[in-house]
Each structure stands twice: as structure tokens, then as C-alpha cells.
Amino acid sequence: MYFKQFLDERCGCASYLIASRQSREAAVVDAALDTGQYDELLRERGFRLKYVIDTHVHADHVSGARRLAGEHGADLCLHESAAVAYPFRGVRDGEELPLGQLRLRILHTPGHRPELISVLVINPPRSPEPSMVLTGDSLLVGDVGRPDFGGGDAAAQYESVARLLGLPDWVAVFPGHFEGPCGKGMCGRPSTTIGFERLFNPVLRLGRPEFVSTLSGNVPARPLNMVAIEATNRGRADAAWAMLTGLPRVDEAGIDALEALPGDAVLLDVREPEEYAYGHVPRAVNLPQAELATRLGDVPRDRPVYVICESGMRSLRVTQFLHQMGYRRVVNVRGGTAAWRRAGRQVICGDAPGKPRIVESEWTHAGGTSAPAG
């Protein structure tokens, strides 16, 4: 057997290539947008791609699965319940995909998403038991996947994780994320074991009511450009440009700069509406980072734009994305709203006038086919 993990440091995602050294057949799981890395390895190793598997419809990064499968004539596999607008091979719970002497056994593990699957890797010549499981965004290292991305269910996540914990302790766990917005408590390691998580994952030590309550409350912010990315992965838009592809150096300013903003400047608060209503800096208008790509026309290109969030991390990524899209008069506010509060300055609670124009369209259903001019 051949196995390789690919880590994407920009979005905290992991993808995998599994191959049989005997048959030279290979599978890629949760392909990143940059499919060249898999092409290169397949070519170097002389592998033939048989399956491209997405464990679920991703919401925080654009999948390269369709492109990869199309270029190699491989089966594009998702769970049979996946709600997408393109043809795919629907796989079922308990189904085994042969890969030379290997077997990829599908486990339906809904919770983070209703269609989420995990993939057990079995090498029968060595053992009838699985040696590893690719868990997508179900079981993470030190956490579990959040259920609030749309269609998720905390109670279903509890049952799915319990099913995974029924595997032997030695089974190696390779998740779809090692950091990022899909789990609040990920420790940053890219792999673990069932036994280690059973003993030391704090979420897994909760009873069912506490587990459901913990996952259902105080959820993190939705990822950058989530609306556009999910629509793209469902085949209802074509917005691969919504991915942040680099980490450019951008202009920054402290909160003192907000006291003397130019009259034509826009102060853009990219937190969730609930956070914004809880307290925002005067003059700030709300445009959640998850909706940025679908509402890019609301952000003026001919005026200074200052971007603020709670602590300065989300706003930094938004500023970098706007820079990527050709905005040059954009500034990240270091320290964010939290620093403004700590300085004893006034915040405004509730909705405020001057919110950006909300563009209601069919974007997420059929449009959004190209990047706005920049």
C-alpha cells in the first residue's frame, strides 16, 4: 500500500492519496483546488487514478475533485444523498471500493453535514481489520466537526462519532482538517488514533445532552466566502476565485486610526450579524466574511476601506482577499473591536443605519459564474 497526506497551510485542510502498489490503482480523498500536486505524484509513481472521493460538500475551500476526476477518467464519489448539480457515483454505508488488494469501506457519518462519509482503509493481505480511517470533518484531532454549516445535526454527530469510537484503538485517524474554522478545539496535529481520542478528546468525554449542547451553542464564525464556496462545490456557481490563494502583506492600522477616519472611508465589520448587534464601533457597517464574495459589489473600490472584526484575525484574511481581488485602498484594523472596548471607547448595540446594500439575486442558485472585474 502507498499512502500520502497533503496539508494545505492556507485553509488548514488535509487531502489524501491511497494506492495499491500491486495494481497501481489509486484514490484521492478530499482533493484540494490545486490538483497539480496529485498529477505529479501519480505520474512519478506510475499510478492510475480510479476514484476521487469527497467526504462531503465542503464549505470552507473549493474542491478540486470534479476537475481531477474528469482529467483522469476516474469515478467521482460522494455519498448517495449529496445534493449537488453534477453527476457522481453515489456510495452507500458499508459499500467497499476495491483498489487492487485494498478495500475502501464507506461509513456514513453524518453530523457536520448530512452526506458526510468516513473511509476505512483495509489491506486484507496484512490484516482483515482496518488500519486507518479518513474521517473528513466528523472526528478531528482534539475535537469534532461543527454542525452549523447548513444541514448539520449535533445529535447525528454524536451517533456518528460513537460509531467511529467503536473501531479498535490502533486505527489511525486522518481528518479533513488540522486547523481552521471547522472545529473550535483542534490541537493542530494532522493525525491521531481512535484510542488516543477516546481517552483525551474533551468533547468525546461528554454525555449525549452535554455533547449536543456544546456543539449547538457558541459556534465559531462561518468561514471566509463560505456562501460562494459551498455554491461552487454544489455545482451551482463557478467561484473558485473566492479562495484566498496567498497571504500578501497588507496595510494595517491600530484602533486610534478609527478616531480620525477620512470622511469618505468605509469601516467594514466582517463579524457575524449577532456579534455586530452585540456591539460595534461607530460608523461600522456589517458584511459577514462568509458572504463577502457574493456581495463584493457592496465594497467600494474608489474609497478607503478599513476592515475590522473581533480581534483582528478575520479582518486580516478579508483584507488579504480584497487585496487579491484588486483592492488597493484597504486596511486591516489590528486588535479589532475587542481592543476598542478595552480602551473604554463607545460601542453601538443593535443594528445601525448605513448597512451595505444587500444584493438579492439568484447567485447561489445559478449565477456567480465569474470573478468581478478588479
What are the catalytic residues?
A: 309
- Of 331, 299, 295, the closest CA to residue 315 belongs to 331
Residue 152: C-alpha distances to residues 29, 135, 143, 216 (Å): 21, 16, 16, 10
HEC profile of the chain: CEEEEEEECCCCEEEEEEECCCCCEEEEECCCCCCHHHHHHHHHHCCEEEEEECCCCCCCCCCCHHHHHHHHCCEEEEECCCCCCCCCEEECCCCEEEECCEEEEEEECCCCCCCCEEEEEECCCCCCCEEEEEEECCEECCEECCCCCCCCCHHHHHHHHHHHCCCCCCCEEEECECCCCCCCCCCCCCCEEHHHHHHHCHHHHCCHHHHHHHHHCCCCCCCCCHHHHHHHHCCCCCCHHHCCCCCCCCEEECHHHHHHCCCCCEEEECCCHHHHHHCECCCEEECCHHHCHHHHHHCCCCCCEEEECCCCHHHHHHHHHHHHCCCCCEEEECCHHHHHHHCCCCCECCCCCCCCCCCCCCCCCCCCCCCCCC
